[in-house]
Amino acid sequence: MDLAFGLNLQSVEEGSSTGYDVIVVGGGPAGVTAAIYTSRAGLKTLVIDKGLTAGALGITGKIANYPGILEEVSGAELLERMRTQAKSFGAEFVSNKVIGVDLLSEDKTIFGNNGNYTARSLIIATGSMGRGTRVKGEDELLGHGVSYCATCDAAFFRDQEVAVAGNSDEAIEEGFILTKFVKKVHFLSPTLSLKAPQHLVDELIANPKIILYPGAGLREIIGNNRVEAVRFEVRGKSEQTITVGGAFVYLQGSKPITDFLQGQIEINENGCLVVDREYQTAIPGVFAVGDVLCNHVKQAVIAAAEGAVAGIAVEKVLHGRKQMVVDWTK
């Protein structure tokens, strides 16, 4: 429970929002730096992010090598400072998980769990905390009690007991949504302490409908055509199986998060997005920056630098100016 400050996202209203110049998906150092540059250039900018502690910088306990930051600061605090800077230039932030896109029209449409948005350009900065491997039973029971979206599916589990697996603010917020419908939420945190702002952790512990299992590793989702139970192991203790009607999974891995693109952008044989020297994909006006690019060096300063290059390039594309030409060989 290492983060002691709030999310403080300056949110736009739920539902459809149109007319943005730039939408940035992902509010880590790459996305937020891009937003600093685009909003400062006078472009109407929206950053969509699913959770402060759902990304790599957000879960980092202490940053010691970010230029200009001499004091001890957590990754989430550094991120909050970056977000405050972007907001000061007019960038808007919304808390939402992007689940799909339509990049074929001139205006790009971004579909979120609780709202859709359109913009003239898109910057993808979702990082590489995506999951490759699933737990036993997860794929088979997806859509039959396994879900990744409480906002979409909670009402199907009215008066039932469900499990939530995760430790980020995204997982906690989704757990709160579930409590409005279900009888009980068994909250399985893979770590002993939750990686989320303290006020959310306090709210979770105080919620009479939520039972927290710290250090609980989800091993299997059990069911015959429908979720019936989850099997998990609490560190240092024997395995447990509890009866549930649903399993909501918000665990993190180390794979670029590109699933929401649904194959609309070229991905190479290594599973990485293909971009040019200014981080533009093969679709004009669509850029990708940061760890989502399978960068060899995964560091906050690199992600931020890529965001800056893309932010400048977007401004030139939208204003119809010649692309900035950077000769990296010199």
Ligand X SMILES: Cc1cc2nc3c(=O)[nH]c(=O)nc-3n(C[C@H](O)[C@H](O)[C@H](O)COP(=O)(O)OP(=O)(O)OC[C@H]3O[C@@H](n4cnc5c(N)ncnc54)[C@H](O)[C@@H]3O)c2cc1C
Beta-carbon count within 10 A of 138 CB? 20
Please report how close the Cβ of residue 275 comes to ligand X at its closest, in angstroms.
13
Among residues 245 and 290, whose Cβ is nearest to ligand X? 290
Among residues 116 and 299, whose Cβ is nearest to ligand X? 299
Please report how close the Cβ of residue 224 comes to ligand X at its closest, in angstroms.
31
Please report how close the Cβ of residue 297 comes to ligand X at its closest, in angstroms.
8
Among residues 209 and 298, whose Cβ is nearest to ligand X? 298
Please report how close the Cβ of residue 78 comes to ligand X at its closest, in angstroms.
9
In the block, residue with structure tokens 């194959």: 263
Please report how close the Cβ of residue 158 comes to ligand X at its closest, in angstroms.
27
Task: Report which residue type is found at 288.
Answer: A
Return the structure tokens found at 241: 């199986």
Please, what's the largest Cα pairwise distance for the chain? 64
Which of 11, 81, 71 is closest to 46 using CA atoms?
A: 11
Q: How far apart are CA 56 and CA 132, in angstroms?
A: 16
Task: Report which residue type is found at 163.
Answer: A
Q: What contacts 180, CB < 8 A, 6 or more positions away?
A: 154
> Within its chain, how far is the Cα of 134 from the centroid?
18
| Chain residues in the site for ligand X (CB under 6 A) | 25-31, 48-51, 54-60, 63, 65-66, 97-98, 125-127, 129, 257, 260, 290-292, 298-301, 303
Among residues 291 and 315, whose Cβ is nearest to ligand X? 291
Among residues 118 and 227, whose Cβ is nearest to ligand X? 118
What residues act catalytically?
149, 152-153
**Residue 316, CA atoms < 13 Å, CB-side half-sphere:** 14
Q: What contacts 65, CB < 8 A, 6 or more positions away?
A: 299, 301
User: By 3-state DSSP, what share of the chain in percent is helix, strand and coil, each rounded to 5?
Assistant: 25, 30, 45
